[in-house]
Structure 1
Amino acid sequence: MKRTALALGLAAGAAAASALASSLLAEAQSRAHPPKGRLVPVEGGTVHLVDRGPEGGAPGAPILLLHGASANSGDMMMAIGDQLAQRRRVIAVDRPGHGWTDRIGERAASSPAAQARTIRAALAAVGVDRAVVVGHSWSGSLATALALDHPDIVSGLVLLAGATHPWMGGVAWYNRAASDKRFATLFNYTVATPVTALALDAGVRAVFAPNEPPPGYAERTAARLLLRPAEFQANAEDLFDLNDYLKVQSRRYAEIRVPTSILHGEADKIVSPVIHSVAIHRQIAGSHLTLLPGIGHMPHHAANEVVLAEIERVAGQASLAAAAE
């Protein structure tokens, strides 16, 4: 009995120490990476977005940038947003539960459709009624949800290594644990933060492979905000739930009628170009597919000029379509 009590006491002490360390690390990251944009009130909470463009305004519809999993608006701004903002209005949003946007809707916020409603509300709040939507990775599902459920606000669509279809294999064990309501709180507040802190740099290299990450990527994009337990849980829920949502959503892609460009690295080991991008290209009439040799999961960084050119091409098509209305 004494040994059992001692073991339980040691385990409880270790958990408490880990929880304290997680809390301190999370607070440190929040202080180190404050919001860089606007905090926009919407129903149910607040959306953080970066809204930039040339002085005196910009022609055409704004460009809406939607980041992938384990990230925030800083990734899209670093890769393409700052360059686009020299000539167009650019809005980069932190998805619900990521960066500085509230987890509006709690677990239901893992749905691309629910996130699309939140994004639409944020756009309306800043006076945007139509945009060219650019979605990377997880946000392939969000960008297409916007085009399907809110076609009036989407004038063009650009998918970058987008997750658009169900896949075999599920998600990593830690995302299953972090999203399981039975022990998510314990896991996220004791295990996830210290382990992620140790593994983050290796994770960044794996996501970029076979390409190299830009110098200082994690710091420059505030990627370590993922170390906060609530954000880690939101990210895990998004990933764990996505497959089921896409089993339904992927049946509807033929409904999309806006100019669409699909770009995917042939060397992507995170999101399969065949399962996702090749498949959705076949479903969206008139879409343009670009497969990029030697490029992995981060084409907006590794094939920056190609991606920027495609965004400009789609924006031009969207402007012509708007003029013809």
Structure 2
Amino acid sequence: MENSIAILGLAIVAFAALTYVRARKVETRITQLYPAIGTLVPVQKGVIHALQRGTGRDVVLLHGALANLRDFPEDLVSELAKSYRVTLMDRPGCGYTSGLKRIATAKAQATALAQAADALGLRAPIVVGHSYGATVAAAWALCGSSLPVRPAALVLIAGPLMPASVALGGLRVLAKSATLRHLSSYLAAAWTPRRVMRFMIGEAFAPEPVGPEYAKRSGARLALRRSSFRANARQTSILAPLLKQLAAELPRLELPVELIHGSEDRVVPCAAHSVAAAKLIRGARLTVLSGRGHMPHHTEPQAVIEAISRAALALPA
């Protein structure tokens, strides 16, 4: 019996050591495949990774959970850059934004992003957020005059905005405990097979097909790095109370708001979030895309471009 326990203990130690080494090796490989492609902008207690394209009125693009600024498709960014100065940002805990480990709430994220926007010279941007990025965008607009840069308009794509269900997969379980988040981050970095990544991406796009180059081009594997995995789990852990507070504040929004949502979104249900939020936000315009899932910025980018154009027309020249 004692020998069996000793052997089991050695096996656990060996597995832990192998996992640690493998996690570091995998992270190094991921970083080599997907290096930073923008500028590292100093903010209080960290840096925000940002990429700018084009000239004109400022538009900020904020990605969702388990993603990074590469998530926005090149065709969409290139088209917007013809008319706007487009700034893509990695949200705190994601991509190459770093040093902001304790920032989890949407308003705290917005504060750091506003500091970066100020450093980059942005003024009254149209802030476009997808999924969790939409939550942060809405919170940014609700932060008031305390921030150096405030949104002039919002375009919220498939955003969690109400205290309703959101499909979070395994993160819902892992988010409950700091210890679980820490241990699972090593396991995720070291042992997540590609087929699991493909499955998760497929769930996000469902019921629509995933673009053939999405997984490779988007740098989705950056989310498997230990720090990013823990940050996403931490942000997920507070999502429910955050959405309850956000919904209570949505009627205070007094700027142009465009809501875009796929009718068949399985991650953030359209009716429970955007349809319900549209009833609370005065003057909000809701566009429901029939048959679309959670990724309309990929599957119907023209709808996003048109929403941004409408928002721009609603603002002073």
- TM-score by length of structure 2 reads 0.94
**Post-superposition shift, 1:178?**
5.4
Correspondence 1:1-325 to 2 at 5 A: 1-53=2-54, 57-58=55-56, 61-78=57-74, 80-104=76-100, 106-107=101-102, 109-150=103-144, 153-168=150-165, 171-177=168-174, 180-191=177-188, 193-195=190-192, 197-318=194-315, 322-323=316-317
Aligned mates of 2:32, 2:176 — CA distance in 1? 26
Aligned mates of 2:166, 2:199 — CA distance in 1? 22
Deviations 1:125-173 (A, max 9, x none): 0111210010110112101011111466211111100111122477433
CA change 1:100–1:169 in 2 (3 A) is closer
CA change 1:79–1:113 in 2 (3 A) is farther
Aligned mates of 1:177, 1:158 — CA distance in 2? 30
Aligned mates of 1:272, 1:169 — CA distance in 2? 7
- The answer as to whether partners of 1:79 and 1:301 remain within 8 angstroms in 2 is no
Richer in helix (by share)? 1
Aligned mates of 1:296, 1:170 — CA distance in 2? 13
**Post-superposition shift, 1:250?**
1.2
Aligned mates of 1:31, 1:51 — CA distance in 2? 22
- 1:255 is aligned with what amino acid? R
CA change 1:173–1:212 in 2 (3 A) is closer
> Which SS does the other structure have where 2:199 is aligned?
helix
- 2:5 is aligned with what amino acid? T
Aligned mates of 2:153, 2:91 — CA distance in 1? 20
- The answer as to whether partners of 1:189 and 1:229 remain within 8 angstroms in 2 is yes
- The answer as to whether partners of 2:73 and 2:298 remain within 8 angstroms in 1 is no
Aligned mates of 1:165, 1:256 — CA distance in 2? 14
Aligned mates of 2:28, 2:259 — CA distance in 1? 38
- The answer as to whether partners of 1:15 and 1:190 remain within 8 angstroms in 2 is no
**Post-superposition shift, 1:197?**
4.2
> Which SS does the other structure have where 2:259 is aligned?
strand
Deviations 1:98-135 (A, max 9, x none): 0000151x23x110000000010000001112100101
CA change 1:179–1:71 in 2 (3 A) is farther
- The answer as to whether partners of 1:78 and 1:221 remain within 8 angstroms in 2 is no
Aligned mates of 1:34, 1:174 — CA distance in 2? 25
- 1:149 is aligned with what amino acid? C
- 1:25 is aligned with what amino acid? V
> Which SS does the other structure have where 2:84 is aligned?
coil
CA change 1:162–1:88 in 2 (3 A) is same
- 2:274 is aligned with what amino acid? S
Aligned mates of 1:142, 1:256 — CA distance in 2? 14
Query: Runs of 5+ in structure 1 lacking a partner?
Result: none
Using the aligned pairs only, state the percent identity: 33
Aligned mates of 1:37, 1:261 — CA distance in 2? 27
**Cα RMSD (Å) of the superposition?**
1.7
Aligned mates of 1:136, 1:302 — CA distance in 2? 13
Query: Runs of 5+ in structure 2 lacking a partner?
Result: none
**Post-superposition shift, 1:226?**
1.1
Aligned mates of 1:179, 1:20 — CA distance in 2? 26
The size of the alignment, in residue pairs, is 313
Aligned mates of 2:152, 2:14 — CA distance in 1? 55
